[in-house]
Every structure is written in structure tokens, then in C-alpha cells.
Amino acid sequence: MRRDISAEIERFPIAGSFRISRGSKTEAEVVTCTITEGQNTGRGECVPYSRYGESLDQVRGAIESVMPAIREGADRTAVIGLLPAGAARNAVDCALWDLESKIGGRRAHSDVCAMPPRPLTTALTISLGTPDEMAAQARSNAFRPLLKVKVGTEDDRARIHAVASSAPNSRIILDANEGWTPENIREHMLVAAEFKVSLIEQPLPQGKDEILRSIPHPVPICADESVHGPDDLEQLLGLYDAVNIKLDKTGGLTSAIILRDRARSLGFGVMVGCMVGTSLAMAPAVLLAQDADYVDLDGPLLLAKDRAPALAYTGSLVSPPDPALWG
């Protein structure tokens, strides 16, 4: 049966603003892929990221380039050969997962998870700001068991201190988004250890992180921008202790499963993370994250308005998706 496919740019307002070391944003800009076959419809959402040379129009154009193949029945394996890893392939891959689930009457988690999925504790992101601003954010979220704190400036000691003091019972992940330098990383690592930080994410720029091999890791270090697929992993041995898997980097759930399994086999810890998107983008990642060491799927918690239907968040617990949303 012939399929129909479309790609739509959508925008969802963020509650306040979201700021990291590279800049700030006030809305989530996403591309949604919809594939229909008969009475069944599958959807996938991606978030183009300029850090990787992506834009809304470029990603939508990439999806449009494979529409003839999708209409003729190209499956997820074929799509891996048609599109490079990245946001466009993620949207198409996840839409195909959703469609396959609905056509077959089989929940996606049956093929992703070793056991029935359960609610997971996700981190909540504290945006980069002044120490006082970040302390206020932390106090408002001090009830949450896990906070992900955006840093990445020349001197983050005061920020780390402010957040740790304002949320003393929360575990903390620091995310520098490539913002630290060889000159300040040792000091920042020691500060992180002093305040019992659990994990540090991508402290140095991709390709400029060789120093991580020769300095102590008093706090485990997680690769984000430095890892996109399984081919990246070998060169990260000795540099990083864990990897952050995001569907928008790997190019979908199909490739993310391969990356997760390969990372585990090499001894890396696993974080499953996200861009700032809606529940539709988080849904497949919730299934991938069932055995993750760290879960960072708080995109919908940062929005002023999510999709409907949406994932169910209870405090920091995110439940697996209902089929009406995805899978």
C-alpha cells in the first residue's frame, strides 16, 4: 500500500528562556514528520541544531528528499542509507517506528525494551545565568532528585556553589556545552568534586579534548558533542567515562539502540538526553532510556505549552508513552 509523508515546521514557547554557553532561546523549533499508510499514521519529531550545521529549512528539505522512497515503502534500514545521521533522519525513523507499531498492533517497547517500560527519573535543567539567578532556579526545583546545571564560563565556581547550596538534596550534573578550556578545566573539576557533583558533561570542545586523557577525573566525564554514533566510541576510550545518546544526533531510535549497545560493550556509562522539544520527541527516548545510568528528558518540562496528548510527568518522573502519542 502506498504511503503519504509530510514534514511540518512547528514552534512551541519555552517557559521563560533557555540559556546555555552558546546562547539562549525562547521557543522550541521542531520539524514533525508524519507518515500515513491506510488508516494508520506514524509521527516523529526532531530538533535541528545549528551547532551541527542544521536549520529548520535544511532539515525539512532533507526529509522531502526521501519522500519518494518512503512513499514506495522504504523501511528504517533503508532510511539509514538514504540520510546521514542527524535530525532529519531521526524524524523519519521515529515516524516509521510509530507507523510500524500501529500497523502491526504491537507496542514499540516490545522491540526496544528487555522488560515492560517503567517511569523514569529525569533531570531538570537549570539554565545558565548569574549565580543568584541560578540559585533561585535551584531553590524552585530543590525537591527534584536530579538537576542538570548549565555552566561553561571562564569561572563557574560561584554558579556551582550557588546551585549546590540551594538544592542540597539533589544530585547534580554539570553541562559545560564545550565552554571550558584546558586552562580552567582542572580548577572546575576540583570545584565539582568539592560540591559532590555526579557527572560533568562535555567540558571541552569536540576535537580539543585530548587533555582529558592525562588529567584526573575526580568526577566522571560524559561525552555529548564528541559522540554521534558507534564509530566515535573507540577514540573516546580513556577520554570519557560515559556518553550522552540523543536521537537527534544518532539519526533516530534505530541507530541509537546500536550506539547504546556498543557503548555498554566498551564499558561506557550511558545517559539518554534530548534537545528542547515536545513529548513527541521524548517518547521514543523514554524507551531507549529504560536501562540508562542518567536520564535527561525534560524538554516538555521547559515548555509553556506541550503537545496533546503528552507524556505524563509527575514531579521528575516521566512515564512511558501512551500509543495515542507514539509507539
Catalytic annotation, residues: 150, 246
β-pairing, 199-201 vs 171-175, is: parallel
Cα–Cα distance measured from residue 105 to residue 287, given in angstroms and rounded to the nearest whole number? 17
Contact criterion met (CB below 8 Å) for 193 and 224: no
- DSSP labels, 151-186: --SS--HHHHHHHHHHSTTSEEEEE-TT---TTTHH
Phi, psi of 45 (to 5 degrees): -120, 140
90 grid coordinates: 531521526
Contact criterion met (CB below 8 Å) for 285 and 272: yes
The answer for residues whose C-beta is within 8 angstroms of residue 196's C-beta and 6 or more apart is 164, 172
- Cis? peptide before 309, omega within 30° of 0: yes
In the numeric block, the cell 580552567 is attached to 184
Contact criterion met (CB below 8 Å) for 273 and 267: no
Measured CA distances, 91 to 2, 235, 251 (Å) = 19, 28, 8
